Chain A
Amino acid sequence: MARIVGGVGCSHAPSIAHSFDRGLQNDPVWAPLYKGYEPAKAWLDKLKPDLIVAVYNDHMNRFFFDAYPTFALGVSDKHPQADEGWGKRDLPDLPGDAEFSWHLAQSLVEDEFDPTICQEMTVDHGILSILPLLTDTRWPAALVPFAANVIQHPLPTPKRFFHLGQAIRRAVESYPKDLRVLVVATGGMSHQLHGDRFGFMNPDWDNEFLDLLEHDPQKLVNLRHHDYMERGGAESVEMIMWLAMRAALGEKVRRIHRHYYAPMLTGYGLIVFEGADA
């Protein structure tokens, strides 16, 4: 039987990708972010998961508003990088796991989640900005991309993401192969990228979110989109995706690592959990 062996919540941002590609790991502005990832990287190196399920959002690189899926699941053995408008980065395609992905599709649909099933799924900075900070290997495990609409309202509710995480766990635990699965959710934390409130960040709220995610996620489940947008900026509403990762780990978690840094436009958060039964 497959089982979930860990969870990671982390911000994603084009700026992270740019800093990585420009070699700014030791730049004074960027160094705290990269140093903050070192313990997570060492943990992942030892964990050696067989598979990564990544809950994230696409930024109009794979999907557009002509037909915008609320949930979309990549089910192929390979996920090429999308060109986001400024050329592709020097990174290999991500390996997938078609067999597990189709099992996940079956299990989710039986659980009343109905993602768009994508046999061609290019991935963008929602996954690729952050993965090179979590590992020096290209790539450490097959990855199953699960994209959610957190851009065009109406969005799925925080509760829906929590239930999604529980459904992902049931899918993993009903898979016959002995896979060790890592669940990653990306996005946030506080940021607003438009209007007079451009550049808004709220480190106090971000850290409260991290506290609640660990100890009392139902408080986060019970908030409205409006609360997230007001506290963290309109674009920060994507933090609700972290609830899927949290729920996938079960009721109690053991925190392995936590880091937060807010230098420029986005509160960069990172949290690493293991299930208390791991």
Chain B
Amino acid sequence: MTATYRGTPIAGTTVFTGARSRQGYRINKFAMSLTDPSKRDAFRADERGYMTSCGLTEAEMDLVAKRDWKGLVAAGGNIYVLIKVGGSVGQNLLQMGAQMRGQSFEEFMQSRPARQGAAIERKN
């Protein structure tokens, strides 16, 4: 996934521009609503029903149902609100990231410096 920012691409990156924010407004508004505990409960009790009440399209609801974080970012979702959806359905950011990279959680974790015994600490 490559998006351009002022005409210049940064590989693997989707810059959260105004166009993205417009595109993902419904998804992001639904996700932000999950900062309210009663709405988290309502979402967990009936995901489809709650998302319908938030006005999400069928395609957007399918992305959430599939926990397709990569697809949700492509649809305009912002990661800082998508992690609220992740939190509600029991996925942390590392798990979400592995999915976005098309890796298993374990594969992704193996790529982390701490797991490789190579975490970089510098004091100066």
Contact = CB atoms under 8 A, between A and B. Distances in A.
Interface of A: 14-15, 29, 32, 36, 59-61, 64-66, 82-87, 151-154, 192-201, 203, 207, 225-226, 229-230, 233-235, 258-265
24 contacts: A14-B83, A14-B93, A32-B119, A61-B35, A65-B28, A82-B35, A84-B84, A151-B78, A153-B16, A193-B93, A195-B12, A195-B100, A196-B1, A199-B111, A200-B12, A201-B113, A207-B122, A225-B5, A234-B14, A235-B79, A259-B121, A259-B122, A260-B122, A263-B119
B112 A263 contact: yes
Given A60-B78, A203-B122, A263-B114, A229 B28 contact: no
A85 B28 CA distance: 13
A265 B97 contact: yes
Interface string B62-91: 000000011001000011110110011000
B100 A85 contact: no
Interface in B107-124: 108, 111-114, 119-124
Nearest to A32: B121
A82 B73 CA distance: 24
Contact of A198 (B6, B83, B87, B101): B101
Contacts of A230: 10
Contact of B120 (A152, A200, A203): A203
A94 B16 CA distance: 31
Contact of B97 (A61, A198, A258): A198
Given A83-B36, A198-B100, A263-B112, A234 B29 contact: no
A199 B119 contact: no
Contact of B18 (A152, A195, A207): A152
Given A84-B35, A261-B119, A194 B5 contact: no
A182 B39 CA distance: 38
B100 A153 contact: no
B34 interface: yes
Given A153-B16, A194-B79, A259-B123, A199 B1 contact: no
B42 to A, nearest CB: 14
A192 B31 CA distance: 20
B61 interface: no
Given A199-B97, A263-B113, A265-B97, 9 more contacts: A36-B121, A59-B80, A61-B35, A152-B17, A192-B12, A195-B14, A195-B73, A233-B13, A261-B119
